């Protein structure tokens, strides 16, 4: 039997985010978040879906932890809803919110499952949005205060902390493209949002370190494998700009203490200066303990003078496999991204904090969900991860996105990423998909069986 075995201390996990699974949107003192506000407005989300109930995880977390245990996960990554802790974003603390996350952590720990907590997975308190949201520098200060509360309440239970999930998506998809909450379409504001998010990350890292808590802290970035469509210099130039726009825009400030020069020259000549105060970049560049990477696909880029802005467009080869998100299945890209980050930016431990795929899953006549394509997607990506480890890259953890089907942002419930199927129409029944059983066997053997 041909097997690929992972290092002994390698940790297998799965991930979720508060707004995508919890529901209970106005319960036990929780305040409104920008995602409540955004999804409750008609036209923002496919089919008018909202996270009001989502997977009802807030009420069913005990059952969900049993399923996590059944799959055999070493670690579970979830996020904390800021407005559950601070309904108005600052000031008055909601004890019931803190108690919920304490119960969740304790139940995980009782089963030997290690919690990994994201402080911000996009659900900003609406009260802070009304003061300008992330475009307002004060939001970074309030985030730091929120982080301090959570560290002191949960610091003895949680040893792995992630400040932000994908600051790029918050800035670009939420504030420049307007497809996510808060729905702004303002380039200058979006770049300021990105800076303030990174600043808040740096502040929270300092706070964590000053509190001398046991455990580790890092950040999660969405990184892509960017490739030029051809060897033409114009396509290569376009790919380099896209790389600055998607990858280097967060990697450089975090690991080198500056923003990509060419891109920022374009931005500032177009929109005027971004508010960056002295000391900000030092704070952002503060040492962390690990880097979380979310990888889904590659991006093939060509120069396109017709395209808006930077004159970049994406090419999607017809002969490749695509997921329901229309993302190409490209496992080699995971290897490329891990290798690049390690070679060019940091020798810190790397965690894949998200990787997975949406497919058109259905319950079949035998009552099961046969998601072979997800198994093959994960198998390919686990192989790429193993290859990276063999090449000496310090990859230590892997979180599959997602533990369960959930509210896929502007796509509502139409995209299913879960290892666990949620039957939304039928009392929220949970069904382990074939991929969950397959993952269970990977974890048990700490490795993969190869077909040939």
Question: Where in the sequence numbering do the catalytic residues fall?
Answer: 166, 354
C-alpha distances in Å from residue 43, one per residue of 159, 182, 208, 284, 406: 40, 13, 40, 36, 19
DSSP state of 322: B
User: Three-class SS of residue 251?
Assistant: helix
**In this structure, are residues 416 and 433 in contact, taking their beta carbons and an 8 Å threshold?**
no
User: Three-class SS of residue 1?
Assistant: coil
**In this structure, are residues 202 and 286 in contact, taking their beta carbons and an 8 Å threshold?**
yes
Token pair, residue 246, equals 């998607």
CB 208, min distance to ligand BGC, A: 21
CB 408, min distance to ligand BGC, A: 5
CB 20, min distance to ligand BGC, A: 6
CB 5, min distance to ligand BGC, A: 29
Nearer to ligand BGC, 20 or 379 (CB): 20
Nearer to ligand BGC, 169 or 213 (CB): 169
Nearer to ligand BGC, 90 or 121 (CB): 121
Nearer to ligand BGC, 18 or 94 (CB): 18
Q: Which residues are at the interface with ligand BGC (CB under 6 A)?
A: 17, 20, 165-166, 169, 222, 294, 354, 401, 408, 417
Which candidate, 128, 129, 126, 205, places its Cα nearest to that of 164?
Answer: 205
Q: Which helix (H) or strand (E) holds 400?
A: strand 395-401
DSSP state of 435: H
Measured torsion, CA atoms of residues 97, 98, 100, 101, in degrees rounded to the nearest 10? 130
CB 266, min distance to ligand BGC, A: 25
The angle that helices 57-71 and 434-445 make with each other, rounded to 10 degrees, is 50
- CA pair distance 296, 273, nearest whole angstrom: 33
DSSP state of 46: G
CB 353, min distance to ligand BGC, A: 8
C-alpha distances in Å from residue 272, one per residue of 47, 263, 266: 39, 13, 10
Nearer to ligand BGC, 50 or 94 (CB): 50
Token look-up 């003192």 returns: 29
- CA pair distance 414, 428, nearest whole angstrom: 15
Nearer to ligand BGC, 167 or 202 (CB): 167
367 torsion bin: left (phi>0), alpha (psi -120 to 50), beta (else): left
The Cβ of residue 276 has, within 10 Å, a number of other Cβ atoms equal to 16
Nearer to ligand BGC, 194 or 238 (CB): 194
**In this structure, are residues 104 and 115 in contact, taking their beta carbons and an 8 Å threshold?**
yes
CB 417, min distance to ligand BGC, A: 6
- CA pair distance 228, 97, nearest whole angstrom: 47
């Amino acid at each position: 039997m041909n097997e690929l075995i992972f290092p002994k201390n390698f940790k297998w996990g799965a991930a979720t985010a508060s707004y995508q699974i919890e529901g209970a949107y106005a319960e036990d003192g929780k305040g409104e978040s920008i995602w409540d506000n955004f999804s409750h407005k008609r036209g923002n989300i496919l089919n008018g879906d909202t996270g009001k109930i989502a997977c009802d995880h807030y009420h069913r977390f005990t059952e969900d932890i049993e399923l996590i245990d059944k799959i055999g996960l070493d670690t579970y990554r979830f996020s904390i809803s800021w407005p559950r802790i601070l309904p108005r974003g600052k000031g008055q603390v909601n004890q019931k919110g803190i108690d919920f996350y304490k119960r969740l952590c304790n139940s995980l720990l009782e089963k030997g499952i290690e919690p990994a907590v994201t402080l911000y997975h996009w659900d900003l308190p609406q009260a802070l949005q009304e003061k300008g949201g992330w475009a307002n520098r004060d939001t970074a200060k309030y985030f730091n205060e929120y982080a301090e509360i959570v560290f002191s309440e949960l610091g003895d239970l949680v040893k792995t902390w992630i400040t932000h999930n994908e600051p790029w998506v918050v800035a670009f998809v939420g504030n420049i493209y307007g497809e996510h909450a808060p729905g702004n379409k303002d380039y200058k504001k979006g770049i300021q949002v990105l800076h303030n998010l990174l600043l808040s990350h740096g502040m929270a890292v300092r706070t964590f370190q000053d509190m001398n808590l046991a455990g580790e802290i890092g950040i999660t970035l969405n990184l892509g494998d960017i490739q030029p469509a051809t060897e033409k210099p114009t396509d290569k130039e376009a790919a380099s700009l896209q790389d600055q726009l998607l990858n280097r825009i967060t990697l450089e400030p975090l690991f080198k203490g500056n923003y990509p020069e060419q891109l920022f020259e374009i931005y500032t000549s177009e929109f005027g200066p971004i508010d960056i105060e002295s000391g900000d970049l030092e704070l952002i560049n503060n040492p962390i303990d690990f880097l979380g990477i979310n990888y889904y696909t590659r991006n093939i880029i060509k120069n396109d003078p017709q395209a808006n802005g930077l004159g970049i467009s994406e090419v999607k080869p017809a002969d490749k496999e695509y997921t329901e998100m229309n993302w190409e299945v490209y496992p080699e890209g995971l290897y490329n991204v891990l290798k690049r980050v390690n070679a060019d930016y940091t020798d810190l431990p790397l965690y894949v904090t998200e990787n997975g795929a949406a497919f058109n899953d259905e319950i079949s006549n035998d009552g099961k969900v046969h998601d072979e394509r997800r198994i093959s997607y994960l198998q390919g990506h686990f192989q790429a991860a193993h290859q990276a480890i063999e090449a000496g890259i310090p990859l230590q953890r892997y979180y599959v996105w997602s533990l369960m089907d959930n509210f896929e942002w502007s796509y509502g419930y139409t995209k299913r990423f879960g290892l666990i199927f949620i039957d939304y129409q039928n009392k929220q029944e949970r069904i382990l998909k074939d991929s969950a059983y397959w993952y269970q066997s990977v974890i048990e053997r700490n490795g993969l069986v190869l077909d040939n």
